[in-house]
Amino acid sequence: MPKVTITNDETGESKTFRAGLGANLRQAALYADVEIYKGMNKMTNCRGMGFCGTCLIEVEPMENVRNHTFIEKLHKVAPNQKLGCRAKVYGDITVKAAIKD
Ligand code: FES
């Protein structure tokens, strides 16, 4: 099971947990009680539908998550970033979350 370390850029909190192979990162973080949203985005996000873009994260290394999806291309997500709701975990990763207003 891949090891995921998420640091919330807004609060500075960091947590490491295990996620299932191919797990959705947003869902795994919610299950592990890790906040990936910034400010009011916790309440106003699209609940993982890929519409709002507020679950933007930076991932290292990118090889351990799936490639950018069509929705991420529409949002013009940078090469080192993913939408948390579109990231599937295939290996150990380090994540910087809560980077979008
Ligand atoms: S939760 Fe809205 S795009 Fe990911």
Residues 6+ apart with CB under 8 A from 78: none
Query: What's the pLDDT band for 101 if we cut at 50, 70, 90?
Result: low
pLDDT value at 53 more than 70: yes
Alpha carbon distance 25, 4 (integer Å): 9
What's the average model confidence in pLDDT over 35-56?
95
Q: With pLDDT > 70 as the criterion, what percentage of the chain qualifies?
A: 99
Please indicate, yes or no, whether the overall pTM of this predicted structure exceeds 0.85: yes
Is the CB of 28 inside a 6 Å radius of any atom of ligand 1? Answer: no
What's the average model confidence in pLDDT over 45-65?
96
Q: What is the pLDDT of residues 5-45, one digit of tens each?
A: 999 999 999 999 999 999 999 999 999 999 999 999 999 99
* CA of 83, closest atom in ligand 1: 4
What would the 3-class secondary structure string for 54-89 be?
CCEEEEECHHHECCCCHHHHHCCCCCCEEEHHHCEE
d(CA 85, ligand 1 centre) in Å: 6
Is the CB of 54 inside a 6 Å radius of any atom of ligand 1? Answer: yes
pLDDT for residue 99: 86
Alpha carbon distance 45, 67 (integer Å): 22
The mean pLDDT value of the chain amounts to 95
Is the CB of 56 inside a 6 Å radius of any atom of ligand 1? Answer: no
pLDDT for residue 89: 97
d(CA 86, ligand 1 centre) in Å: 8
Looking at the DSSP bridge assignments, the partners of residue 8 are 97
Domains of the chain: 3-97 (3.10.20.30)
